[in-house]
């Protein structure tokens, strides 16, 4: 079995780290650079940064955050949100990203995947797929942080993006994202069965057992997790005075609330749990 990568996902709105449910109802949870440093020290294999309003405003504004993070964190960084041109990709790579995640631009112009892969290498190009299950049981892809329906069937799209040169797929179950109810294994397995590139599963992790059940039942290469790690840090050590900017939904952070819907876990604890359950993980000494 390949070593499973554990990837904290950091959704960014302006200067703040945010978290929602079904990619909506975003609440400010802290300062992204501080969370990134904590996750690095905890043994994260990679970090996944997404500007969640970039497609809405047609720009990615993470350059400063990525540049500052890359100076002191030496694991791969993937950056997404609002990347529409080769120049956009070049800019975030120069800022310190190792890979880029594209979604909206790829669905609007699938040839963009081929152009980007040819210019920067397939291993640099991650295609993000935001999937919502329809009443008829089919999964369709959405864009703009699941705001826009595309009419594109997910499994067909997954095969196409690989044919066009994508080196990796991050599949998000929007239905499960932020809920803590576990992964949509039907969705993830469906994608994994059809492609020959690494698949990152995202959306739904609420406890360590969810991750173990996923990797024991589905052929995935990595898991991207947000809530379970964010709320663990907020409950256990984060300085709640670290608010990047006095804007957005600050009630949760300012009132120092705790979340009980998740059996929260640190990266260290999750990796140890997987290890004792015979899951091959990457062991990093930072």
- What is residue 263's predicted lDDT score, i.e. its pLDDT? 80
Region label for 25, one of left (φ > 0), alpha (ψ between -120 and 50) or beta (otherwise): left
Of 110, 95, 90, the residue nearest 158 (C-alpha): 110
> Is 87 known to be catalytic?
no
How far apart are the two ends of the chain, measured CA to CA in Å? 24
Question: What are the φ and ψ backbone dihedral angles of 164, each rounded to 5 degrees?
Answer: -85, -10
The domain locations on the chain are 5-276
Q: Assign 122 a pLDDT band (cuts: 50, 70, 90).
A: very high
- What is residue 251's predicted lDDT score, i.e. its pLDDT? 63
d(CA 273, CA 214): 14
- What is residue 60's predicted lDDT score, i.e. its pLDDT? 58
pLDDT at 37 over 60: yes
pLDDT in tens, 224-283: 999 999 989 988 876 655 665 556 555 656 555 555 556 889 999 999 999 999 999 988
- What is residue 2's predicted lDDT score, i.e. its pLDDT? 74
Share of the chain above pLDDT 70, in %: 86
Mean pLDDT score of the chain, rounded to an integer?
A: 89
Taking a C-beta distance cutoff of 8 angstroms, is the pair 227, 5 a contact?
no
* CATH 3.30.750.24 fits domain 5-276: no
Q: Are strands 168-173 and 199-202 parallel, antiparallel or unpaired?
A: parallel
- What is residue 246's predicted lDDT score, i.e. its pLDDT? 58
pLDDT in tens, 182-206: 999 999 999 999 999 999 999 999 9
Taking a C-beta distance cutoff of 8 angstroms, is the pair 27, 259 a contact?
no
pLDDT at 59 over 60: no
d(CA 205, CA 192): 18
Instruction: Using a cut of 0.85, tell me whether the model's pTM lies above it.
Output: yes
pLDDT at 164 over 90: yes
Catalytic residue among 11, 46, 144, 177: 11
Catalytic residue among 33, 130, 144, 168: 130
| Residue given tokens 């739904």 in the structure block | 204
Rounded to the nearest 10 degrees, the angle between the axes of helix 32-42 and helix 63-70 is: 30
Q: Give mean pLDDT, residues 112-131.
A: 98
> Is 11 known to be catalytic?
yes
- What is residue 5's predicted lDDT score, i.e. its pLDDT? 97
Higher pLDDT among residues 47 and 283, named by residue: 47
């Amino acid at each position: 079995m390949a070593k499973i990568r554990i990837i904290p996902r950091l959704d960014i709105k302006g200067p703040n780290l945010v978290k929602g449910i079904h990619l909506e109802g975003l609440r400010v949870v802290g300062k992204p650079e501080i969370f990134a440093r904590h996750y690095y020290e905890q043994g994260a294999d990679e970090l996944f940064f997404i500007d969640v309003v970039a497609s809405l405003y047609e720009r990615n504004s993470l350059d400063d955050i990525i540049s500052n993070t890359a100076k002191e964190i030496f694991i791969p960084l993937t950056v997404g949100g609002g990347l529409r041109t080769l120049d956009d990709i070049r800019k975030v790579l120069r800022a310190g990203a190792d890979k880029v995640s594209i979604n909206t631009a790829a669905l609007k112009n699938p040839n963009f995947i081929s152009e980007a892969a040819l210019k920067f290498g397939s291993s640099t190009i991650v295609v993000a797929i935001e999937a919502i299950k329809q009443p008829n049981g089919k999964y369709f892809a959405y864009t703009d942080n699941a705001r826009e329906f595309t009419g594109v069937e997910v499994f067909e799209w997954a095969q196409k993006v690989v044919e066009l040169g994508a080196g990796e797929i991050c599949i998000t179950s929007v239905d499960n994202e932020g809920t803590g109810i576990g992964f949509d294994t039907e969705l993830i397995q469906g994608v994994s069965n059809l492609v020959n590139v690494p698949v990152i599963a995202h959306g739904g992790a609420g406890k360590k057992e969810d991750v173990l059940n996923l990797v024991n039942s589905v052929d995935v290469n990595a898991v991207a997790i947000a809530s379970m790690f964010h709320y663990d840090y907020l409950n256990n050590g984060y300085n709640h005075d670290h608010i990047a900017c006095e804007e957005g939904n600050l009630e949760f952070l300012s009132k120092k609330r705790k979340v009980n819907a998740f059996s929260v876990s640190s990266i260290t604890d999750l990796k140890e749990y997987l290890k004792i359950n015979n899951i091959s993980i990457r062991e990093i000494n930072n």
